[in-house]
Amino acid sequence: MASLLLRRSAALSRPVAARALAPRWRTAPIACTALRASSVWAKVPQGPPDAILGITEAYKADKFTEKINLGVGAYRDDAGKPYVLPSVKEAELRLVQQFLDKEYAGITGVPAFTKLAAELAYSPGSAALKEDRVVITQSISGTGALRIGGEFLAKWYPYAKTIYIPTPSWANHTAVFKDSGLEVKPYRYYDKTNISLDLAGLLEDLSLAPENSIILLHACAHNPTGVDPTPEQWQQISEVIKKKNHFSFFDMAYQGFASGNADKDAYALRYFVEQGHQLCLAQSFAKNMGLYGERVGAYSLVVDSPEEKKRVESQVKIVVRPMYSNPPVHGARIAAEILGDEKLHAQWLAEVKGMAERIISMRSLLKEKLEALGSTRDWSHITSQIGMFCYTGLTPEQVKTLREQYSVYMTGDGRISVAGITSKNVSYLAESIYAVTK
């Protein structure tokens, strides 16, 4: 430990290269300085780094060899390397061998993909799908789906322009919905003291929200807390939402990642559909297929009738067309190839389970190591929380110290992406956390 810390401080003390800068006036053309007093962008202020992606930038700039990035939610294998799923490799190979054309997809994307994405979320036997009541469009991953949904609701939802999101929620939710034209308000979700779901607070806030409000729900693997309602708690949430005629907006970025079972993770969404809720859904294939940079996602709405579906779909297209015209095809074709082929589909589900299981084993290992070091804190939430993240309970000061003195990177709220832990870095991570919490 001591030797690691020593190496860490050596890496920090890099000499700053002195540079002799020539004064600008000696080289700048006189006519130019006379015409333009200052740049057009002189008043653009420096923006803050992104709460999640900014962490990766800082991590990349760090020279310490034992550095650990637990900021962004991106799966790593046990060697800490990005993981391309074998099912994805196989699907991609099949596609390349077909030499498909690169024509535009329609505004709503690759039809084979959207059909299968809807079946994965709602289940192939879903009454809403059989009755042709699901509007679906491909999107630029989950974030794009949220944005399409936000814009569509801001334009057409007749009762409210406010969306209620849980406290805490994914760091980008507020910005996405505000930029879509919605007002964002919080509802209670997480009980910090008991490190659990604040069910009473949640139910109370949803019942106090004005009738017909829009409610954002994380379908599974709540980001950042890793705390999900149980099926019974979802039933209670559904009851309040129904009573108040609220509109549910599900964000499902981790289907399969929470439990290792894609059907189990879709429980809340499917239950709400069965209960006849008015709802919409943002889906992402970034995590469960590892298609991060391919930007594969979908936005869908369950509506009342096939006739209504046509009208709503026409307006969804009008939202999409000026935003990015139509989505990229390659990643969607990969997802469609996997979902549409029985053998590949089964292989993929096993691979998702494998990723979920590696995360679960890293949770146990981190907890064990902290306890073995003699930490007297209760770390049981590390193993009780699910999905990609652990909400550690570390304070902003502890997070800062971990970053500055130990090169361990996580988001400011103390969220760690458990997918970034490996059997090699877990000891250093536990020692570092122990050092700042003892």
> What is the smallest separation between the CB atom of 35 and ligand LMR, expressed in angstroms?
43
Active-site residue, from 287, 309, 367, 369:
287
Least CB distance to ligand LMR at residue 90 (A): 26
| Shortest Å distance, C-beta 372 to ligand LMR | 29
Cβ-based nearer residue to ligand LMR, 137 or 223: 223
Whole-angstrom CA distances from 41 to 29, 30, 35, 133, 314 are 20, 21, 16, 49, 39
Compare residues 107 and 149 and give the one whose CB is closer to ligand LMR: 149
Three-class secondary structure assignment of the chain? CHHHHHHHHHHHCCCCCCCCCCCHHHHCCHHHHHHCCCCCCCCCCCCCCCCCHHHHHHHHHCCCCCCEECCCCCCECCCCCECCCHHHHHHHHHHHHHCCCCCCCECCECHHHHHHHHHHHHCCCCHHHHCCCEEEEEEEHHHHHHHHHHHHHHHHCCCCCEEEEEECCCCCHHHHHHHHCCEEEEEECEECCCCEECHHHHHHHHHHCCCCCEEEEECCCCCCCCCCCCHHHHHHHHHHHHHCCCEEEEEECCCCCCCCCHHHHCHHHHHHHHCCCCEEEEEECCCCCCCHHHCEEEEEEECCCHHHHHHHHHHHHHHHHHHHCCCCCHHHHHHHHHHHCHHHHHHHHHHHHHHHHHHHHHHHHHHHHHHHCCCCCCCHHHHHCCCCEEECCCCHHHHHHHHHHHCEECCCCCEEEHHHCCCCCHHHHHHHHHHHHC
CB of 234 to ligand LMR, least distance (A): 22
Tell me the C-alpha distance between 150 and 145, whole Å: 8
Give 105 or 394: the residue with its C-beta nearer to ligand LMR.
394
Q: Which is nearer to ligand LMR, 223 or 238 (CB)?
A: 223
Nearer to ligand LMR, 135 or 286 (CB): 286
CB closer to ligand LMR, 170 vs 190: 170
Nearer to ligand LMR, 327 or 420 (CB): 420
Nearer to ligand LMR, 231 or 293 (CB): 293
Least distance to ligand LMR, CB of residue 59, Å: 13
Nearest distance from C-beta of residue 17 to ligand LMR, angstroms: 34
Catalytic site includes residue 287: yes
What is the bridge-based pairing of β-strands 296-302 and 214-218?
A: unpaired
Q: Which of 251, 309, 369, 379 is catalytic?
A: 251
Shortest Cβ distance from residue 226 to ligand LMR (Å)? 12
> First and final CA of the chain: distance in angstroms?
15
Which residues contribute to the site for ligand LMR (CB under 6 A)?
Answer: 52, 72-73, 170, 172, 223
Task: For the CB of residue 223, give the shortest distance to ligand LMR in the complex, in Å.
Answer: 5
Rounded to 5 degrees, what angle do the CA atoms 2, 421, 56 make? 90
Length, in residues, of the chain = 438
251 is catalytic: yes
Tell me which residue has its CB nearest to ligand LMR: 73
Give me the catalytic one of 67, 170, 198, 309.
Answer: 170
The residues that are catalytic are 170, 251, 287
